[in-house]
Amino acid sequence: MDLVSLSTEEVRNLFKHQRVILIGDSIVRGIYKDLCCVLTGNNRLLYSNELQFNRHQIKKETLFGEAIEKFYANRRNSAFNVEQRSLKSKSFGYDVTYIFTSRIWNQKMVQLLSSLDKYDIIIVNSQIWDLSRYEDNDGQSYLKNLDIFFSKVKLVKKNNYMVDECTNK
């Protein structure tokens, strides 16, 4: 696979006037933070200390000026943690939101489903948590829940949309 190199300006243009939601675990949080880094003018990936910045406690300061809308840390690596962040730009018109979840289909996803119609791009990934935290050794429960998620999204998003489930293939 050939990698494509994009400048900050090209990424901003791709996301111009787009509402994007990233839903998932700490891997997706890392993708969200990398995206915020580029969208705010930094042409680099994050350092490990930046990826971990403000991860387990709520602080007023953020790396990129994003809003921390919801935050509750039950404990490290807990399926019950709550985290929602968003980065918005009036000048570029993008709205990028990250929401933590540990499963592709659970009560949190049911509640979130009705709001997905307002997003242009939906990126989800909870594969590692789904397979390792819920004793789903053969992946059958994960695949069933993945099918449920996509069928429900299809009902909500009747028009054009893009959904990407990041997987480890």
8-165 architecture in CATH?
A: 3-Layer(aba) Sandwich (3.40)
- What gap in Å lies between CA 111 and CA 46, rounded to an integer? 31
**Mean pLDDT in residue range 20-27:** 90
Q: Which of the pair, 148 or 157, is modelled with greater confidence?
A: 148
Among 14-18, 35-39, 124-128, which stretch is predicted with the lowest mean pLDDT? 124-128
Please provide the DSSP assignment of 123-162 as one string. Answer: EEE-HHHHHHHTT-TTSHHHHHHHHHHHHHHHHH--SS-E
Q: Specify whether the CB–CB gap between 36 and 96 falls below 8 A.
A: yes
Q: Specify whether the CB–CB gap between 37 and 114 falls below 8 A.
A: no
pLDDT tens digit sequence for 88-123: 999 999 999 999 888 889 888 899 998 998 998 889
DSSP H stretches of helix in the chain: 8-15, 26-39, 48-51, 107-113, 127-133, 140-156
Give residue limits of the domains in the chain. 8-165
Tokens of 111: 């509640």
Q: Which of the pair, 54 or 110, is modelled with greater confidence?
A: 110
Sorting pLDDT into bands at 50, 70 and 90, what band is 17? very high
- Global pTM value: 0.82
Checking if the pLDDT of 53 tops 70, the result is no
Q: Which of the pair, 55 or 132, is modelled with greater confidence?
A: 132
Count of residues in the chain: 169
pLDDT tens digit sequence for 56-65: 555 556 778 8
